[in-house]
Amino acid sequence: MSVEGTWDLTIATPIGRIRPVIELSRRDGQLTGIAHGLDEDVPLQDIALDGDTLTWRQAVTKPMRLNLTFTVTIDGDTLAGTSRAGRLPSSNVTGQRRAHQG
Protein backbone atom coordinates (compact mmCIF):
# COMPACT_ATOMS: atom_id res chain seq x y z
CA MET A 1 0.00 0.00 0.00
CA SER A 2 1.32 3.43 -0.92
CA VAL A 3 1.21 6.09 1.79
CA GLU A 4 3.35 8.63 -0.01
CA GLY A 5 1.86 12.05 -0.42
CA THR A 6 0.69 15.06 1.53
CA TRP A 7 -1.81 14.42 4.31
CA ASP A 8 -3.99 16.98 6.10
CA LEU A 9 -4.45 15.77 9.68
CA THR A 10 -6.80 16.76 12.47
CA ILE A 11 -5.77 15.89 16.01
CA ALA A 12 -8.48 16.30 18.66
CA THR A 13 -6.48 17.26 21.77
CA PRO A 14 -7.65 18.36 25.21
CA ILE A 15 -6.58 21.93 24.29
CA GLY A 16 -8.44 21.96 20.96
CA ARG A 17 -8.05 20.73 17.40
CA ILE A 18 -4.63 20.91 15.81
CA ARG A 19 -4.35 20.62 12.03
CA PRO A 20 -0.81 19.69 10.99
CA VAL A 21 0.21 18.59 7.51
CA ILE A 22 2.55 15.65 6.99
CA GLU A 23 4.49 14.83 3.85
CA LEU A 24 5.53 11.22 3.30
CA SER A 25 7.93 10.03 0.61
CA ARG A 26 10.35 7.20 -0.11
CA ARG A 27 14.09 7.77 -0.24
CA ASP A 28 16.32 4.81 -1.06
CA GLY A 29 13.40 2.47 -0.30
CA GLN A 30 12.79 3.94 3.16
CA LEU A 31 9.79 6.00 4.23
CA THR A 32 10.71 9.53 5.25
CA GLY A 33 8.52 12.38 6.35
CA ILE A 34 8.12 15.82 7.78
CA ALA A 35 5.30 17.45 9.72
CA HIS A 36 4.34 21.10 9.31
CA GLY A 37 2.27 22.91 11.89
CA LEU A 38 2.08 25.72 14.44
CA ASP A 39 5.03 27.56 12.87
CA GLU A 40 7.44 24.63 13.03
CA ASP A 41 8.57 21.84 10.72
CA VAL A 42 9.69 18.61 12.39
CA PRO A 43 11.04 15.37 10.93
CA LEU A 44 9.09 12.16 11.45
CA GLN A 45 11.11 9.41 13.12
CA ASP A 46 10.83 5.61 13.15
CA ILE A 47 8.25 5.58 10.34
CA ALA A 48 6.92 2.07 9.81
CA LEU A 49 4.20 0.66 7.59
CA ASP A 50 2.88 -2.79 8.53
CA GLY A 51 0.00 -3.74 6.25
CA ASP A 52 -2.40 -0.80 6.55
CA THR A 53 -1.01 0.39 9.91
CA LEU A 54 1.35 3.37 9.84
CA THR A 55 3.34 4.42 12.91
CA TRP A 56 5.80 7.23 13.58
CA ARG A 57 7.24 9.45 16.30
CA GLN A 58 7.85 13.16 16.31
CA ALA A 59 8.90 15.83 18.79
CA VAL A 60 7.15 19.20 18.88
CA THR A 61 7.77 22.40 20.82
CA LYS A 62 4.46 24.18 20.09
CA PRO A 63 2.00 24.59 21.72
CA MET A 64 4.23 22.83 24.28
CA ARG A 65 7.24 20.53 24.23
CA LEU A 66 5.97 16.98 23.62
CA ASN A 67 7.20 13.69 22.21
CA LEU A 68 4.33 12.22 20.20
CA THR A 69 3.72 8.67 19.01
CA PHE A 70 1.21 8.09 16.21
CA THR A 71 -0.59 4.88 15.20
CA VAL A 72 -3.02 5.21 12.30
CA THR A 73 -4.79 2.91 9.88
CA ILE A 74 -4.66 3.86 6.20
CA ASP A 75 -7.78 3.27 4.10
CA GLY A 76 -7.10 4.54 0.58
CA ASP A 77 -6.89 8.33 0.86
CA THR A 78 -8.05 8.54 4.49
CA LEU A 79 -6.49 7.62 7.80
CA ALA A 80 -7.69 7.33 11.39
CA GLY A 81 -6.01 6.45 14.65
CA THR A 82 -4.44 7.98 17.72
CA SER A 83 -1.60 10.16 18.89
CA ARG A 84 -0.12 9.77 22.34
CA ALA A 85 2.15 12.09 24.32
CA GLY A 86 3.76 10.19 27.18
CA ARG A 87 1.28 9.50 29.96
CA LEU A 88 -1.33 11.90 28.62
CA PRO A 89 -4.55 10.40 27.26
CA SER A 90 -4.59 9.45 23.57
CA SER A 91 -5.92 11.99 21.07
CA ASN A 92 -7.96 10.93 18.05
CA VAL A 93 -6.32 11.56 14.68
CA THR A 94 -8.03 11.69 11.30
CA GLY A 95 -6.58 12.61 7.94
CA GLN A 96 -7.14 13.01 4.24
CA ARG A 97 -4.52 12.67 1.51
CA ARG A 98 -4.39 15.70 -0.79
CA ALA A 99 -5.14 15.15 -4.45
CA HIS A 100 -2.07 15.22 -6.67
CA GLN A 101 -1.30 18.70 -7.96
CA GLY A 102 -0.34 19.31 -11.52
Residue 1, pLDDT score: 61
Domain coordinates in residue numbering, the chain = 5-97
CATH 2.40.128.120 fits 5-97, yes or no: yes
Residue 100: predicted pLDDT: 73
DSSP the chain: ----EEEEEEEEETTEEE--EEEEEEETTEEEEEEEETTEEEE-EEEEEETTEEEEEEEE-SSS-EEEEEEEEEETTEEEEEEEETTSPPEEEEEEEPPPP-
pLDDT band with cut points at 50, 70 and 90 for residue 86:
confident
Grade residue 102 by pLDDT with cuts at 50, 70 and 90.
low
pLDDT level of residue 23 (50, 70, 90 thresholds): very high
Least confident of 11-20, 28-37, 69-78: 11-20
- The pTM score is 0.91
